[in-house]
Structure 1
Amino acid sequence: MPEDRVLVSPRYLAGAGIDRLADAIGPLVHLFGWPNEHDRASGRISVHSPDGSLFVNFNSRHTHGRWWSLAHHEPYWEARFTWQTPIEAIAAVTQALPQLLDDDRHVDRIPLTTTPPLAQIAELNHWHREDDTFTSPDGHCHLQHTPAEDTPWRFRHHVYDGFDTHWDASFTQDTPERLVA
């Protein structure tokens, strides 16, 4: 279908895709039966795993522009995405969540990456590495990996100041690396 094509390359230049929220939340609700709540007054959407261990929240009124947060309990980890993060990236993360909870009913439709470690993926795609930071070939996207930090994985993107091209994605300790990938 034409609407399924990626129209922006590289993908990290795509926009937030507010009209495509269903790409990130829909599979959890419709394919996996995750309960959800939608507060129409605030626009907040919350989806949680059937066992209550994992939560996905969307809040377009978050004061710091962190529209998306995913939180897992035992072990605790959290992923946060700002409002301009490409919806394709968020959907890739949310759609992999059921498999992290050993629900492989739709593994043929939504495969979880089994690729090499993220640092190796960056190198294979010609990202430049300097100390703990990888930079995309065009210099607009940065991946910082500092394993000793509370938030060891941070993605930052910008093209030009003032054009709403900034976005951030961060993953705290204990976030499965294959989810970050």
Structure 2
Amino acid sequence: MKRRKAVEPWAGWGAGERAEQHYLVTPRTLAGGGNLRHISDHLRASGWRDKSKTGGPVFLQSPDRRLRALYDPTSAPGGWVIQGAARNHQPAWWAHFTPQTPVEIVAGLTDALTRPRSAHAPNPWEPLRTQEWRTSTGPVHTGALSPDATAWLRWQQTADGSAVWWSGAKNERDETVWDAHLSASTPLDLVTALATALASPEPVMRPRGMVPPSTRIRTTSVSVLPSQLHAWQEARVTAARAGTWNSAAPPTRPPRPSPRTVRSKVQR
């Protein structure tokens, strides 16, 4: 793991607070799992119901009950399971992420669940090509590999002849540190959102002691106040709430002219 010089503290620190050491990590695909609240807080702020039980797995459900997000570290293989019920012409779908999948990558998909679908035709390969991932096509798969050859996204046929989306990352020992499987019926706009988060060159932040040991990781040490971390988390939650309010607000209509105004115009 390559470490860079610590970044100088920000100006305007509050009195009585002690800075905590964190690291900006690239590539994000090897940064480790991260804080689950990055996902769960955003879904709650977007109107999802928290149906978790004390001491049990995280369980969130969309307002229309069609979507579910579950994180259960006690079950095998554990990790996040996202499910969508069938509706109209859209069949049921599912996505599973193992526990060490970076939360920022899982959030690529879960955040997209809280937004209206884009009017543009989704293309999962486009954000990968933009970041210079190498694409390939074979007899049973189409895939893309990151420039450093640590991460991938593939559309492939399984042994029983069905198809599945498969993503993941490996360390320098060729060990798979996390992977994800998505059903063939997963909406393409969600796969595209996942691919965008997967290929993003932006670093992710991890606290001291939570950075996986790997020679393929580059880190920059930063000193962060607890109040700053809270402010960044709140900004994400506030944006989610604003997006939910805007989507739920009734469309505005132009004011209707009064009969008196209409008669006045006719007389002219």
Place the TM-score, normalised by the shorter chain, in its bin: 0.7 to 0.9
How far the C-alpha of 1:147 sits from its partner, in A, is: 7.3
Shift of the 90–25 alpha-carbon distance from structure 1 to 2, 3 Å rule, reads: same
Query: Structure 1 residues 127-136 or 5-14, which shifts more?
Result: 5-14
2:54 corresponds to which residue? 40
Task: Report SS of the residue matched to 1:99.
Answer: coil
2:25 corresponds to which residue? 8
**Length-normalised TM-score, structure 2:** 0.54
1:173 corresponds to which residue? 184
In structure 1, what is the Cα distance between the partners aligned to 2:184 and 2:129?
Answer: 22
Residue identity (%): 29
2:104 corresponds to which residue? 88
Within a 5 Å distance, the mapping from 1:46-65 to structure 2 comes to 46-64=59-77
| AA partner of residue 38 (structure 1) | S
| AA partner of residue 83 (structure 2) | A
Task: Report SS of the residue matched to 1:98.
Answer: coil
2:143 corresponds to which residue? 133
| AA partner of residue 28 (structure 2) | R
Task: Report SS of the residue matched to 2:152.
Answer: strand
User: Computing the radius of gyration over CA atoms, which structure comes out larger, 1 or 2?
Assistant: 2
**Length-normalised TM-score, structure 1:** 0.77
| AA partner of residue 144 (structure 2) | F
Structure 2: runs of 5+ lacking an equivalent: 1-9, 11-19, 193-268
Match 1:67 to one of 79, 88, 100: 79
Cα RMSD of the aligned pairs, angstroms, is 2.9
Shift of the 14–113 alpha-carbon distance from structure 1 to 2, 3 Å rule, reads: farther
2:95 corresponds to which residue? 79
How far the C-alpha of 1:6 sits from its partner, in A, is: 8.3
1:25 corresponds to which residue? 40
Contact 1:57–1:68 (CA under 8 A) maintained in structure 2: yes
Task: Report SS of the residue matched to 1:51.
Answer: coil
In structure 2, what is the Cα distance between the partners aligned to 1:26 and 1:79?
Answer: 19
Structure 1: runs of 5+ lacking an equivalent: 103-111
Deviations 1:26-54 (A, max 9, x none): 1221x22221122333x301000121110
Deviations 1:58-116 (A, max 9, x none): 1011212x31000001120001100110011112221221225x7xxxxxxxxx79696
1:143 corresponds to which residue? 153
How far the C-alpha of 1:119 sits from its partner, in A, is: 1.3
Contact 1:146–1:152 (CA under 8 A) maintained in structure 2: yes
Task: Report SS of the residue matched to 1:117.
Answer: coil
Task: Report SS of the residue matched to 1:145.
Answer: strand
Shift of the 13–152 alpha-carbon distance from structure 1 to 2, 3 Å rule, reads: same
| AA partner of residue 29 (structure 2) | Y
In structure 2, what is the Cα distance between the partners aligned to 1:85 and 1:113?
Answer: 29
Greater RCO between the two (CA within 8 Å, min separation 6)? 2
Contact 1:151–1:170 (CA under 8 A) maintained in structure 2: no
1:105 corresponds to which residue? none
> Deviation above 3 Å: which 4+ runs of structure 1?
112-116, 147-151, 160-163
| AA partner of residue 141 (structure 1) | A
Q: Work out the number of aligned pairs and report it.
A: 163
| AA partner of residue 169 (structure 1) | A
